Amino acid sequence: MREILRFQPILQTRVWGGSALQTALGRELPQGNPIGESWEIVDRQEAQSVVVGGPHQGETLRELLTHHGPAVMGPDWPAEKPFPILVKWLDCRERLSLQVHPPAGVAAELGGEPKTENWYIAHTAPGAKLIVGLKRGVTRAQFERAIVANTVEACVHHFRVAAGDSILVHSGQVHAIDAGNLILEIQQNSDTTYRVYDWGRTGLDGKPRQLHIVESLRSIDWNDFEPAPVRGAPTSGVIAECPEFRIRRCVLGAGERVHLRAGEQPRIVSVVSGTARANAEGGGTRTPFGMKVATGENVLVPFLGGFTFSAETTAILLITENFSG
């Protein structure tokens, strides 16, 4: 397997969602429901990415790894092992709940999964913010009293963001995404989220959404104060690195290229701005005129696939790697 793998997005209705996936990324959305998430690459029991185009059209990511695991992920990849990364777009028309994902040790106790994630801000409304971590000096006792008094907002760290900014959110960091942000989230393959506060909001059914206060208080890192984002810059470099993955930002002028060699490791390529064209190493018939990868697309370059991505116009690519070890 040497082909670039594209997948059909899986749309998710969310009370805080909107229509930015259509207005900003040009995607067709169903009418009448707020679409908050588009799961781009996922291998979970409750959600499976399906290949679009090529010789593996219609196969799920789970089927690919079951039958072609070493070709996709590298030698000795166990057939039963899930794909370790989940990629999704988040359209946050309204503020999300204040939440936390459990660290590994706590997750095991609570029957959940740890989740470290990176947020890349693709578009943002003027003045939009993120909430990550506690305000310096806030204690667990103060936070618990604030939940009862509905003053939690004064306990958490707010900061403004602009397009091109990003931040790595570790398991255990309390966090929320403010209204007006369109974000590419690249995360561990997990779907465990504990809501600690929801700003008095009701769900689509008109009822208050479930909170997980006991689990949240057990999971929050009470020594995590005021983490700083990586600000957008017109340069290439690593924007996130953790044991689970690394993300490189590649800023390309028209005609500039980035090479991904076959036999090194699998990689996810996300085009967050502009348009790129992928050509196979050595030419051949796999992509004779190059595969166009437009703004918003996320593709998987398998272990055996070698490709050069060339910018048609000024483009920004995120390359996620180091997740197959």
User: Which residues are the active-site residues?
Assistant: 195
Q: DSSP characters for 241-269? A: EETTEEEEEEEE-TT-EEEE-TTS--EEE
In 10 A of CB 100, how many CB atoms? 28
Contact 38, 10 (CB under 8 A): yes
User: 236 is written with which tokens?
Assistant: 């290439």
Structural Rg of the chain based on CA atoms:
20
What is residue 64's three-state secondary structure?
Answer: helix
Q: What is the DSSP letter of 231?
A: P
Residue of 273, 267, 319, 322 whose CA lies nearest to 294: 273
Q: DSSP characters for 96-144? A: PPEEE---HHHHHHHT-----EEEEEEEE-TT-EEEEEEPTT--HHHHH
Q: What is the DSSP letter of 7?
A: B
- Measured over the CA atoms of residue 246, residue 12, residue 181 and residue 148, the dihedral's sign is negative
Measured distance CA(216)–CA(85) in Å, rounded: 23
